[in-house]
Amino acid sequence: MSSSPTKRMLLVALVVLFSDQITKILILTFLGYGHEWSVVDGFLRIVCWGNTGAAWSMFYGNNKFLAGLAFFALIAIYLNRKHFDFHTAGGQIALGLMSGGILGNLVDRIHEGHVVDFIYFYLRQRGGDELGFPAFNLADVAICTGVGLVFLFAWHSDRVFGSESPRLEI
Question: For residue 115, what are the β-bridge partners?
Answer: 51
Q: Please report how many Cα atoms fall inside a 13 Å half-sphere around the Cα of residue 33, on the Cβ side.
A: 6
CB 150 within 8 A of CB 35: no
Q: Is-catalytic flag, 117?
A: yes
Rounded to whole angstroms, the Cα distance separating 58 from 69 reads 14
Pair 142, 54: CB distance under 8 Å: no
d(CA 93, CA 170): 9
- Catalytic site includes residue 140: yes
Nearest CA to 148 among 101, 109, 78, 80?
101
Question: Which of the following is catalytic: 20, 41, 117, 129?
Answer: 117
Identify the active-site residue in 85, 108, 140, 158: 140
**Which residues are identified as catalytic?**
117, 140
